[in-house]
Chain A
Amino acid sequence: MDPFLLEALLNGVLLGGVFALPALGLNLVFGVVDVVWLCYAELVMIGMYAVWFLYTQAGWPLALACAACLPIVAGLGLALHWLVVRPLLTAPPINQVLATGGVLFVLQGAATLVFKTDFRSLGVDMPPMELGDVFISGTKLIAFCAALVGAACLWAFLKFTYVGTAIRAIARDREVMPLMGVDPKRIYLIASGVGGTLAGLAACLLVVQLDVHPFVGLSFGPITFMICVMGGLGNMLGGFIAAFMMGLIISIGGFYGSTELSYVIAFGFFILMMFIRPQGLFAR
């Protein structure tokens, strides 16, 4: 096999792992609260700025900066739910989506006001690893492993804790669960907090690979939505597989053609999937 193609394949898998995390967070919020956070990628962007600021400006160690990033973004997620989504829970879906679209503008504007439009980079890079003929970027590999660990933690939380069970139950039937003594408002808030935490984790993984600027969210936001929907609501495994598929499409498309065309194929694939399997790739 052509080592360059193999490298593209591996990079696709690594890219998929990084896409998976924000898609899972979005999936959780969409599945539980039934509201699309159009500004999800912008929450990640704020997290990236937080890590960048704490690490390069405040001089914190990188690990500490990343650890601080999680509660910051989780707090943003809670605030978003409390201030914007909660009053609109009974409003038509259009109004909910547009309100979170407004938050997208607010976050982009705020980032531009505070940090200007310059591209900021952490300036950390790890030496590439060599596997036979194939080189893999060390940062990408670490980000991938962290994404897997994050997803595993989420899975364990949803599977084995009481609150996690309640979250899954609410996602399945939001009419019956309140009768069983679960307070949906509280569950919504918790899900938003967890969704925010995942955005924070995604920010830590992305900031080592991408330069951060106020519009960076637009570069991976749309693809995150598509993965989230393609995987199927509430289906974590489906989300992961969808993320890998998208990662592979983009990476291999980029190998044979250009980056833009590979994204065109990925988005086209999404539209096609919406027509064929609107409930997600692995819906029963």
Chain B
Amino acid sequence: MSRPLPFAIALAALATIPLFGPPDYVLHLLITATLTAIAGTGWAMMGRFGLVSFGHGAFFGAGAYTMALLWNHLGVSPWLGIPAGIIVAVLAGVMLGWPCFRLRVVGHYFALVTLAAGEIVRLLVTAMREETGGSLGMTPNRVPLDHGFWAMQFSKAGFWWLVLGCWVLALAVWWLLDRSMSSKALAAIAEDEDAAASIGIRVTREKLKVTVLSVALAALAGALTAQYRMYLSPESVSGLGISLQIVFGAIAGGMYAPLGPTIGAVLTIGLDESLRVFFGTELTGAAPFFYGILLVMFMLFLPRGIAGLLERKLR
């Protein structure tokens, strides 16, 4: 982002991909990776300032379910449902974040509180069987393809452009945050909360700001993921499993660089698919097994992720 021209060229190149008529499978991979990247970028905004959330699945799921429920039960278009989902998730994030920051629940304790919140959303979705289909999941109602725009149901190419736009939005949010005083304040808070407060930084307010941004991106990614897959279940869009997956992508790529989570997302989806191609569906456990080993390796030897490594090489 610091060099706008190469970025714009790369973006234009990405946007023209569907014009060359690539196989559906390639577009599918690109879309999936970009969706993961949006969620990871959102997570890393908090994560890099020491606010480790294990509950981003909650916000991912809140966005997805709000949108899908509004569409299926009230016929509200996802174009309105996604902003509504983001609002619901942000409200939930503030409700959780404000007391946490105010009462200084930090570190391990913050991680555990967010973990509990993630589980609460998963359980609530499961408990509301009548509306959400419980653990069996639900599918957004389909419409004929020529009416697809209002229902946000497009071909893969349409989705690619939509998702790409949202990804650019996520990076823009990161960039704006990075240039603002807030990022300096948050860096100071991450270093030493008492010292930061003593020089007049409003700790609670700064933390809430970044939480709102981070949660909104997670909800956006969640709603788009559900809409793209046309299927959502408590396990696939909320709970600890999905939270840890979001975290993994962001960490592996590197949470301190704007493109880090994106690199991580490409890596996770690439790893996922290659394991599936090489081992087939027989060895379903292989993917988490290798993820886990990589995650441990990254923490032991490369805690700043791939982007951190690249930055060091470039310098």
A interface with B by C-beta (< 8 Å): 30, 36, 84, 87-88, 91-99, 101-114, 117, 214, 218, 221-222, 225-226, 229, 258, 260-261, 263-264, 267-268, 270-271, 274-275, 278
Residues of chain A lying within 8 A (CB to CB) of residue B240: 218, 221-222
17 interchain pairs, CB-CB under 8 A: A36-B112, A93-B107, A97-B111, A99-B295, A102-B296, A103-B296, A105-B289, A105-B291, A109-B286, A112-B289, A225-B112, A226-B112, A258-B127, A263-B119, A270-B113, A270-B116, A271-B113
Nearest B residue to A258, CB-CB: B127
Q: Are B120 and A109 closer than 8 Å at their CB atoms?
A: no
Asked if B83 CB lies within 8 Å of chain A CBs, one says no
Query: How many B residues face the partner with a CB closer than 8 A?
Result: 49
Among A222, A225, A278, the most chain B Cβ lie within 10 Å of the Cβ of A222
Nearest B residue to A101, CB-CB: B244
B100-144 toward A: CB 8 Å interface, digit per residue (1/0)? 100111011101110111011001101100000000000000000
Docked CA distance A263–B119 (Å):
9
B interface with A by C-beta (< 8 Å): 47, 50, 52, 96, 99-100, 103-105, 107-109, 111-113, 115-117, 119-120, 123-124, 126-127, 239-241, 244, 247-248, 251, 283-296, 298-300, 303
Q: Are B300 and A84 closer than 8 Å at their CB atoms?
A: yes
Residues of chain B lying within 8 A (CB to CB) of residue A267: 116-117, 119-120, 123
Residues of chain A lying within 8 A (CB to CB) of residue B244: 101, 104-105
Nearest B residue to A263, CB-CB: B123
Docked CA distance A104–B288 (Å):
9
The answer, among A91, A93, A110, A226, for a CB contact under 8 Å with B289, is A110
Docked CA distance A8–B193 (Å):
45
Q: Are A105 and B292 closer than 8 Å at their CB atoms?
A: yes
Q: Are A101 and B247 closer than 8 Å at their CB atoms?
A: yes
Taking A93-B108, A274-B113 as contacts, is the C-beta distance between A111 and B127 under 8 angstroms? no
Q: Are A99 and B300 closer than 8 Å at their CB atoms?
A: yes
Docked CA distance A243–B19 (Å):
59
Q: Are B296 and A84 closer than 8 Å at their CB atoms?
A: yes
Residues of chain A lying within 8 A (CB to CB) of residue B296: 84, 99, 102-103, 106
The answer, among A87, A104, A226, for a CB contact under 8 Å with B292, is A104
Docked CA distance A263–B298 (Å):
34
Nearest B residue to A230, CB-CB: B112
Q: Are B116 and A113 closer than 8 Å at their CB atoms?
A: no
Nearest A residue to B51, CB-CB: A94
Q: Are B283 and A222 closer than 8 Å at their CB atoms?
A: no
Q: Are A112 and B299 closer than 8 Å at their CB atoms?
A: no
